[in-house]
Amino acid sequence: MSDREIQHQKAIAREMFVQQAAHNVDVSTSPLRGTAICSTDSGRDYTLESTADECCRAADTSLLPVVPVDAEDFMRVWRQLEVITKRQGPRIAFKAKGSILLLDLADILAVQAEGNYVSLRHRTNAYLVRESLSSMAEKLKLYGFIRIHRSVVVNISAVEEIQPLPTGEYRLRVRGGKEYLVTRTYKDNLRDLAQLWVGSERLCS
């Protein structure tokens, strides 16, 4: 049998399979375009995969393992995955009262200069760390923090509102209601607060 005849026979077989599936099986569309899962009378599952020439080929999936999942167990694992995902975020480590604390950077709302120290404004507490604000601003820049004042650095993701002032400065509010002043020297940094500005063309201009 020639190659052309073999290809012709394959095409006929594929067409017969699709026609039989259309009459004798339940077909549920999958998220992939042109792909469906068919359950036949024999109890076997087949995947119909579209090819470049719009024909279909069948892949027997009956040998794939079927694992029953309890809803309660599934939700417990889901919650554990959420915790793990959160832990994978960037963290900051620093000395505090003889110990080394590790905090999620996402929970640091702002960093404020206090003499030779900086105060890490956590969502629940404040921690004093012996470091200059300029040094902290440089280190935190890669993690979504911007400088808004010579003595204040804020977490971009914590900012909820900015309000223009008649002086050309801005008032900035973070989660929890704490407000900070944005001086004219650093107002251009406010552009980093969002990737898309709508109806605010003059903001920070």
Which of 184, 193, 128 has the alpha carbon at shortest distance from 158? 193
**pTM of the predicted model, to two decimals?**
0.55
| Percent of the chain surpassing pLDDT 90 | 38
Scanning the structure block, which residue is given the tokens 């920070």? 204
More confident residue, 52 or 97: 97
Q: pLDDT tens digit string along 116-137? A: 899 999 988 899 999 999 999 9
pLDDT of residue 34: 45
Domain match, 119 and 33 both: no
Instruction: Look at the block and give the residue holding tokens 């003499």.
Output: 115
Are 103 and 27 part of one and the same domain? no
Do 54 and 98 have their domain in common? no
φ/ψ (deg, to 5) at 84: -65, -40
Identify the residue whose tokens are 């993690």.
143
Are 32 and 117 in a shared domain?
no
Coil, strand or helix: which one is 145?
A: strand
Residue 117 domain-assigned (yes or no): yes
Residues 47 and 99 in one domain: no
Please indicate, yes or no, if residue 76 is contained in any of the structural domains: no
